[in-house]
Amino acid sequence: MRKRCVTVPHLCSTIKAASGHTAGDIIVDAILMEAKAQLKVTSMPIKEIAAQLGFENVAFFNRFFKSHVGMTPRAYRME
């Protein structure tokens, strides 16, 4: 397999130029989309959803989710 010599800054600027969004924004959107789906279609505990999405700390996941969605994961699930 051949390696591609692409730097992180080059990749990020290419993504921004192609999509109009930063790589970070795309990652956050993907995490939130998956979190919302899991909260609505499963009864999995929020702690497990957070861990599945790579959050080691459920409190951090709760703050992350609330800062982007405007409500806690629990409130979103109940909506």
Q: Does some domain include residue 26? A: yes
Alpha helices in the chain (DSSP H): 8-19, 23-41, 46-52, 58-69, 73-78
pLDDT of residue 2: 62
- CATH number of the domain encompassing residue 27: 1.10.10.60
Q: Does some domain include residue 29? A: yes
Q: Does some domain include residue 3? A: no
- The per-residue b/e assignment along 35-64, b for 16 or more CB within 10 angstroms, e otherwise, is beebbeeeeeebeebbeebebeebeebbeb
Sign of CA dihedral 15, 17, 22, 25: negative
pLDDT of residue 75: 98
Q: Does some domain include residue 47? A: yes
Q: Is 70 exceeded by the pLDDT of residue 72?
A: yes
pLDDT digits (tens, 9 = 90+) for 11-38: 899 999 999 999 999 999 999 999 999 9
Please indicate whether residue 3 or residue 38 has the higher confidence score (pLDDT).
Answer: 38
The number of folded domains in the chain is: 1
Q: Does some domain include residue 31? A: yes
Q: Is 80 exceeded by the pLDDT of residue 70?
A: yes
Name the pTM for this structure. Answer: 0.84
Read off the pLDDT of each residue in 48-76 and give the average, rounded to a whole number.
Answer: 97
